[in-house]
Structure 1
Amino acid sequence: MQVTETLNEGLKRGYDITVTAAELDAKVNEKLVEAQPEVEMKGFRKGKVPMPLLKKQFGERLLGESMQEAIDGAMTEHFETTGDKPAFQPKIEMKNGEEWKEGDDVNVEVSYEALPEIPEVELKGINLEKMVVKSDDAAVEEALANLAETAQDFKSRRKGSKAKDGDQVEMDFVGKVDGEAFEGGSAEDFPLTLGSNQFIPGFEEQLVGVKAGEEKDVTVTFPEEYQAEHLAGKEAIFSCTIKDVKEPVAAEITDELAQKFGAEDLEGLKGQISERLEAEYAGAARAVMKRALLDELDKLVKFELPPSLVEAEAGQIAHQLWHEDNPEVEGHDHPEIETTDEHTTLAERRVRLGLLLAELGQKAEVEVTDAEMSQAIMNQARQYPGQEREFFEFVQQNQQMQQQMRAPIFEDKVVDYVFELATIADKEVSKDDLQKAIEALDEE
């Protein structure tokens, strides 16, 4: 077998590989000798089929296998010898494919982009600030007030008050289509919060301004795609009798409210809120510090990047940003999206940092455990209520999906590894300062 270098420019590599006909024939014969003892054929005892007959029967298939094994072996040996790691799957083309016939040498052209050598980084020389926010009484009280609003109650408005958007209207109603009452179109003492979009479009808006004791006909048209086919697209009149108009009020901050949220009493709820706030602050502070670390690493290291990786990443960035600007387009049936210099610059940063973190993680022997992967899959499966098992099985069978889920876990573990080596100084800040820092991340 002969391997000849044809291209070595930057990270681009090219090679011609020649596997001689004699080498292929020797490989085929080797496979036939190995298989002969187990072969049975009519007219011959097991293991006694003549070699020429075996070659005539199985030679063509084994020739293809031998050809593939020879090329794969040459590539494996090449990467072990040179230390090259391809950025993408190498492109392999048979140069004499159309004219090739049994008895000819096999000439293959191989091309790929090699991953660059990553320079060493003195991680102990990195200096970072960690924003620290204390969970004070004011923050806990504010969170408590927000909880009370989510658990809001309703109390009757003063007699004669008109219903406003957000109020709750308690009523009896009967719905009719073509003068006939229909199943499911009537109720008594029904509490409807105006603006909740609980009823079909146009219904709640017509009740704004009603008073307790008033009767009002509400005319609406069922949507064309309404789930009950006999009502789809039909006009309906609902005769409503308003029994009460209630305004929203925040729930009282008491032990009873605390128990609604799983705490024993109000002090217990305050403790839970304090812990949750500090966990949220710590998570936000980590995100800010991670961005600072990535910025620092981006300044510290420069190396050549595989053009194909940058091009693919820039295309992905452009595609994602286009969909964010055009949220009404759900599929990918849209014009070709061109990448800009801004997309390419961002792609270069992502590829550079991705390669660097991968190198740091490999040297530090950072691994994503099966338990961490299972936890990540379960967390994501919760987004599909009732289909958790199907989602779990889908991920288990999909290597690409597994890689997509493993990558951010690996990155965070490498970042934590670098945090342990870097010099980190705590900086006590206000909640507002931390919030501004988080908002700045989204703007970049």
Structure 2
Amino acid sequence: MQVTETLNQGLKRGYRFTLPAAELAAEVDRQLAEAQPQIEMKGFRKGKVPMALLKKTYGQRVMGDAMQKSIDDAINAHMAEGNVRPATQPKVEMENGEGWTEGDDVVVNVSYELLPEIPETDLSGVELERLTVEPEESAVTEALENLAKNAQDFEDRAEGEAAQSGDQVTIDFKGMVDGEAFEGGTAEGYPLVLGSGSFIPGFEEQLIGAKAGDEINVNVTFPEDYGAPHLKGKAAVFETKVHAVKSPKAAEIDDELAKRFGAESLEALKTQISDRLGAEYKGAARALVKRALLDRLDELVSFELPESLVEAEAAQIAHQLWHEEHPEEHGHNHGAIEPTEEHKKLAERRVRLGLLLADVGQKAEITVSDQEMTQAVLNQARNFPGQERAFFEFIQQNEAARQQLRAPIFEDKVVDHIVAGAKVTERAVSKEELEKALESLDEI
């Protein structure tokens, strides 16, 4: 196999691989000879079929396999000898493919981009600030009040008192369309919270002001997108009787409330809430530190980027943002989406930081353990209730999916490694200051 360099520009490389016809023929003969002992043909014993007949019968089929193997072996040898690290899968094109006939040399053009050499950079001098927030008593109290509200009960209003939004009314109802009752439109003793939006639009509003004992005809129109086709857009009357009107009553903040949420006592629940808030504040502070670190690395380190990686990343960014701007479009039949200069600039940052973090992680021998991967799979599987087994099997069989789970874990471990060696100062702030810092982060 003869190899000639055709392109050497920046990270781009190109080579012409020429496989002489004689070498290809020798490879065909080798493969046929290897298979000959196992081949049976009419009129010949197993392993005794003449080579000439094998060539006539199987030569064309073996020729394609031999050609592919020779080219693959040559490219792999080229990569190994030069310790080549391509940024993406090399592009392979047969130069004389259309006019090639048996007896001709095979000429293949191979092109790729190299991964860049990452410059050595001392990251120990990076200066970062970590915001710290201690959970305040007021925040714990607010969380307790929200829990009590979510655990609310209802108590009877005074006799003759009218229902308000947020009240619970106990009702019987019978739905009629064109004077006929319809399936699923009847219930007795149904507890309905007014303003919950659990019934057809317009139903709950007509019960505000109702009193126990009232009989009301509720007039509504089923939405055009209603689940039952025979009711879409239909006008309906619900003959409704109100049995009880109850006002919401927040649960008492006491040991009983704590037990409803799995704590032994109110003090234990307060401790759990404080710990949870502390963890949330630390997570938010970590996000700020990570963003500050990435910004600093983007300023500190510069190197040439593979155009193919940047173009692919820009296309992905443009596609993702387009779907965020058009949430009604769930498919991909929307034509080409051209990346803007802003998309390309963001893509360059992502590719640069991704390559830098990968290099730092490799040199620091950072890996993602099996236990960490299992936990990541478990976390993702929760998003597919009832289909967890199918999700596990998908992950096991799909290397790209596994890589998608592994990449953010690896990135976070590398970030933690760099932060651990950087100059980090801490500054105590209020919850409001932390929230404001997070809001400004989202705006960037």
Q: Which TM bucket (shorter chain)?
A: over 0.9
How far apart are residue 270 of structure 1 and its match? 1.0
Amino acid at match of 2:372: E
Task: Give the distance between the partners of 2:213 and 2:351, measured in 1 at CA.
Answer: 68
Task: Give the distance between the partners of 1:10 and 1:183, measured in 2 at CA.
Answer: 72
How far apart are residue 31 of structure 1 and its match? 2.0
- The equivalent residue for 1:118 is 118
Amino acid at match of 1:35: A
Are 2:193 and 1:190 equivalent residues in the alignment? no
Q: Secondary structure of 1:385's partner?
A: coil
CA RMSD of aligned residues (A): 2.1
How far apart are residue 229 of structure 1 and its match? 5.3
- The equivalent residue for 2:269 is 269
Greater shift after overlay, 124-133 or 289-298?
124-133
Distance verdict in 2 for CA 1:229–1:343, change over 3 Å: closer
- The equivalent residue for 1:366 is 366
How far apart are residue 91 of structure 1 and its match? 1.2
- The equivalent residue for 1:132 is 132
How far apart are residue 217 of structure 1 and its match? 0.5
Q: Secondary structure of 1:302's partner?
A: coil
- The equivalent residue for 1:10 is 10
Task: Give the distance between the partners of 1:225 and 1:286, measured in 2 at CA.
Answer: 44
Amino acid at match of 1:386: G
How far apart are residue 223 of structure 1 and its match? 4.1
Task: Give the distance between the partners of 1:112 and 1:42, measured in 2 at CA.
Answer: 48
Task: Give the distance between the partners of 2:229 and 2:63, measured in 1 at CA.
Answer: 64
Task: Give the distance between the partners of 1:40 and 1:171, measured in 2 at CA.
Answer: 83
Show the 5 A alignment for 1:419-438. 419-438=419-438
Amino acid at match of 2:203: F
Q: Secondary structure of 2:384's partner?
A: coil
Q: Secondary structure of 2:15's partner?
A: strand
Unaligned segments of structure 1, at least 5 residues: none
Greater shift after overlay, 7-16 or 225-234?
225-234
Task: Give the distance between the partners of 1:258 and 1:186, measured in 2 at CA.
Answer: 38
How far apart are residue 369 of structure 1 and its match? 2.7
Amino acid at match of 1:107: V
Distance verdict in 2 for CA 1:202–1:440, change over 3 Å: same
Runs of 4+ residues deviating >6 angstroms: none
Q: Secondary structure of 2:247's partner?
A: strand
Task: Give the distance between the partners of 1:45 and 1:68, measured in 2 at CA.
Answer: 31
Show the 5 A alignment for 1:218-367. 218-223=218-223, 226-228=226-228, 231-367=231-367
TM-score norm. by structure 1 comes to: 0.93
Task: Give the distance between the partners of 2:20 and 2:387, measured in 1 at CA.
Answer: 55
Amino acid at match of 2:237: I
How far apart are residue 259 of structure 1 and its match? 0.9
Q: Secondary structure of 2:176's partner?
A: strand
Q: Secondary structure of 1:22's partner?
A: helix
Amino acid at match of 2:215: E
Instruction: Give the percent of matched residue pairs that are identical in Structure 1 and Structure 2.
Output: 64
How far apart are residue 285 of structure 1 and its match? 1.2
Task: Give the distance between the partners of 2:390 and 2:407, measured in 1 at CA.
Answer: 22
TM-score norm. by structure 2 comes to: 0.93
Q: Secondary structure of 1:186's partner?
A: strand
Task: Give the distance between the partners of 1:228 and 1:51, measured in 2 at CA.
Answer: 72
- The equivalent residue for 1:35 is 35
How far apart are residue 107 of structure 1 and its match? 0.6
Total equivalences in the alignment? 444
How far apart are residue 370 of structure 1 and its match? 2.8
Q: Secondary structure of 1:170's partner?
A: strand
How far apart are residue 165 of structure 1 and its match? 2.6
Q: Deviations over 1:24-55 (max 9, x none)?
A: 11212222232333333333333333222222
Distance verdict in 2 for CA 1:328–1:162, change over 3 Å: farther
Task: Give the distance between the partners of 1:205 and 1:316, measured in 2 at CA.
Answer: 46
Q: Secondary structure of 2:191's partner?
A: strand
Unaligned segments of structure 2, at least 5 residues: none
How far apart are residue 335 of structure 1 and its match? 4.8
Q: Secondary structure of 2:251's partner?
A: coil
Are 2:401 and 1:395 equivalent residues in the alignment? no
How far apart are residue 408 of structure 1 and its match? 1.2
Q: Deviations over 1:352-392 (max 9, x none)?
A: 00111111222222222333222222211211221222222
- The equivalent residue for 1:405 is 405
